[in-house]
């Protein structure tokens, strides 16, 4: 069994084993015809159920053969140009290489004595990101597991900096299309059930600053204490970017912490064409970025950044067994002092390899391509009488719905769109997402693959229309018979 431990005597076995796995995935990538096979839970569950975990195969090749049946064959492949559903990107090879290295060396980024250079690399990437944002010389931050954790940590800092310790009085203002992790964070942070104040959006799905001003004033009148405004720079559904400069002014006026959730929009930090769309982000007290969304990085890769490094002390605890207080005076850099996690992956290495091989411009160009593709897709949808499209994209999503001229009952149209999404998923020909706008069911393309073309968009729209028409035809038949 010792032959399975990765060490000096097993280097050759490691090379062979990992190469065999890489070969399988490479073959898969090269031959995948559709983003999904359409497998159902009922078909796949028994295959996995049958496997007896107490009877190991004792053979890598056999385990990989089995993996083909339980996972690889029916996985949802984000690299396929017709995967258009959620905020998942195809990944860049330098980052995958970084992933292979970081898991084999297995550094843990909580302390210097578990990571050495890893800690300094992470710190340099944090500095690189805060400089791109423009947060100033006192800025700092830390890598996290994702945007959800980044938002939670930012709001923890905001809570600790708030003007009252009375949790029942605190509120957080955010737009009605912000991410649900704002609500989850409020709950975890012990705020009251109505602590999150939902600010209406305008036609372009951006926070209405007039409404924000009104809500801030109302909070003060009601004796509540606004703890943070969470602006969204790239809403999950629409990619809409809240008016950051105006929000910053209001935050300054009311002395409220400004958090910018740029989990999605952070790709603009590398953009060569559209960087100005995220102007105003430099006023933030804290920022969430998800490199695993718009920097083409494998999951997980995310960070929370702060304007003032001192505020990170709210996440600091010292333990004799890990990061004793004296290490601070000895100037030993322990990233755990800034993090909600303890043992923590060296995810930063993926971004490091990406920047060293491709450079930020390489990433920015890829993101610019998908933003431009979304604009072309919007033109197609806007000109197509079969579809109603919600907003012109600021990033790379399109929210639309099939609207047959002959059907006037909106609930029936809802059902046709729901059916089309399901039928498409079951076919495996393409994967699209769905959401609700003003109470009605819509479909969504999240375009993060530069390999997707307008021809793919046209083809998938035709598939959607076909499925929806089939549903409507059949449901009319049902009514008739
Ligand atoms: C995806 C997303 C998040 C959550 O990030 P995870 O990495 O999925 O935890 C937060 N905010 C926005 C706007 C997002 O799109």
| 217-227 pLDDT, tens digit each | 999 999 999 99
| 340-350 pLDDT, tens digit each | 999 999 999 99
Per-residue pLDDT band at 418 (split at 50, 70, 90): very high
CA pseudo-torsion sign 136, 137, 138, 139? positive
Alpha carbons 372 and 59: distance in angstroms, whole number: 47
Does the beta carbon of 290 sit less than 6 angstroms from any atom of ligand 1? Answer: yes
- Yes or no: say if 10 and 3 are a contact pair by the CB < 8 Å rule: yes
Q: Under DSSP, is residue 61 helix (H, G, I), strand (E, B) or coil?
A: helix
Identify the CA nearest to 448 among candidates 375, 371, 392: 371
What is the fold of 107-356?
3.40.640
Report residue 281 as tokens. 């982000």
DSSP 440: E
Per-residue pLDDT band at 406 (split at 50, 70, 90): confident
CA pseudo-torsion sign 370, 376, 380, 382? positive
| 115-174 pLDDT, tens digit each | 999 999 999 999 999 999 999 999 999 999 999 999 999 999 999 999 999 999 999 999
Identify the CA nearest to 124 among candidates 335, 341, 344: 335
Sheet holding 387-389, edge to edge: 83-84, 431-437, 440-446, 397-402, 387-389
Does the beta carbon of 283 sit less than 6 angstroms from any atom of ligand 1? Answer: no
| 66-105 pLDDT, tens digit each | 999 999 999 999 999 999 999 999 999 999 999 999 999 9
H and E: helices and strands count for the chain: 15, 12
Which segments within 146-301 are labelled E, that is strand?
A: 170-175, 196-199, 225-232, 257-262, 286-290
Residue with CA nearest ligand 1 atom 5: 147
The torsion defined by the Cα of 188, 192, 195 and 196, in degrees rounded to 10, comes to 40
Q: Please tell me the predicted confidence (pLDDT) of residue 480.
A: 64
Q: Please tell me the predicted confidence (pLDDT) of residue 326.
A: 95
Mean pLDDT of the chain: 97
Of the chain, the percentage scoring pLDDT greater than 70 comes to 99
Residue entry with tokens 């740029």: 262
Of the chain, the percentage scoring pLDDT greater than 90 comes to 97
Alpha carbons 239 and 247: distance in angstroms, whole number: 18
Architecture of the CATH domain 361-480: Alpha-Beta Complex (3.90)
Mean pLDDT of 22-35: 96
**How remote is the CA of residue 112 from the centroid of ligand 1, in Å?**
29
Mean pLDDT of 9-29: 97
The domain locations on the chain are: 107-356, 361-480
Ligand 1 atom with least separation from CA of 299:
7
Does the beta carbon of 265 sit less than 6 angstroms from any atom of ligand 1? Answer: no
Does the beta carbon of 242 sit less than 6 angstroms from any atom of ligand 1? Answer: no
Per-residue pLDDT band at 479 (split at 50, 70, 90): low
Q: Under DSSP, is residue 286 helix (H, G, I), strand (E, B) or coil?
A: strand
Q: What Rg do the C-alpha atoms of the chain give, in angstroms?
A: 24
Residue entry with tokens 């009311």: 254
Alpha carbons 439 and 406: distance in angstroms, whole number: 21
Cα of 162 vs its chain's centroid, Å: 28
């Amino acid at each position: 069994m010792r032959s399975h431990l990765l060490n000096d005597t097993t280097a050759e076995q490691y090379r062979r084993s990992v190469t065999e796995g890489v070969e399988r995935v490479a073959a898969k990538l090269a031959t995948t015809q559709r983003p999904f096979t359409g497998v159902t839970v009922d078909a796949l569950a028994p295959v996995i159920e049958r496997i007896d975990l107490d009877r190991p195969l004792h053979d890598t090749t056999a385990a990989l053969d089995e993996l083909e049946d339980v996972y690889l064959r029916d996985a949802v492949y984000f690299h396929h140009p017709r995967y258009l559903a959620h905020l998942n990107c195809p990944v860049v090879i330098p980052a995958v290489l970084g992933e292979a290295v970081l898991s084999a060396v297995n550094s843990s980024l909580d302390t210097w004595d578990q990571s050495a250079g890893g800690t300094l690399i992470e710190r340099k990437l944090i500095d690189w990101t805060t400089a791109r944002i423009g947060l100033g010389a006192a800025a700092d931050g830390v890598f996290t597991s994702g945007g959800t954790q980044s938002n939670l940590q930012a709001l923890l800092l905001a809570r600790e900096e708030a003007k009252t310790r009375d949790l029942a009085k605190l509120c957080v203002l955010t737009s009605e299309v912000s991410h649900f992790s704002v609500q989850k964070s409020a709950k975890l942070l012990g705020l009251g059930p109505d602590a999150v104040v939902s600010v209406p959006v305008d036609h372009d799905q951006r926070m209405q600053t007039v409404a924000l001003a009104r809500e801030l004033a109302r909070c003060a009148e009601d004796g509540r204490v606004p703890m943070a405004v969470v602006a969204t720079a790239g809403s999950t559904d629409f990619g809409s970017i809240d008016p950051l400069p105006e929000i910053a002014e209001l935050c300054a006026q009311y002395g409220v912490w400004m958090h910018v959730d740029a989990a999605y929009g952070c790709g603009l930090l590398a953009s060569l064409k559209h960087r100005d769309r995220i102007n105003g982000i430099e006023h933030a007290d804290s920022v969430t970025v998800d490199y695993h969304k718009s920097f083409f990085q494998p999951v997980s890769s995310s960070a929370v950044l702060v304007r003032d490094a001192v505020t990170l002390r709210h996440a600091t605890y010292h333990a004799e067994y890990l990061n004793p207080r004296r290490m601070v005076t000895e100037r030993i850099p322990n990233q755990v002092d800034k993090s909600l996690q303890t043992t923590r992956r060296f995810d930063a290495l993926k971004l490091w390899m990406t920047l060293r091989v491709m450079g930020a411009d390489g990433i920015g160009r890829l993101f610019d391509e998908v933003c431009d593709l979304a604009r072309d897709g919007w033109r197609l949808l806007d000109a197509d009488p079969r579809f109603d499209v919600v907003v012109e994209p600021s990033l790379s999503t399109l929210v639309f719905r099939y609207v047959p001229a002959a059907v006037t009952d909106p609930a029936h149209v809802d059902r046709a769109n729901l059916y089309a999404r399901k039928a498409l998923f079951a076919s495996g020909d393409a994967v699209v997402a769905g959401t609700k706008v003003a109470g009605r069911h819509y479909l969504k393309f999240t375009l993060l693959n530069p390999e997707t073309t307008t021809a793919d968009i046209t083809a998938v729209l035709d598939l959607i229309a076909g499925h929806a028409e089939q549903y409507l035809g059949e449901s009319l038949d049902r009514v008739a018979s």
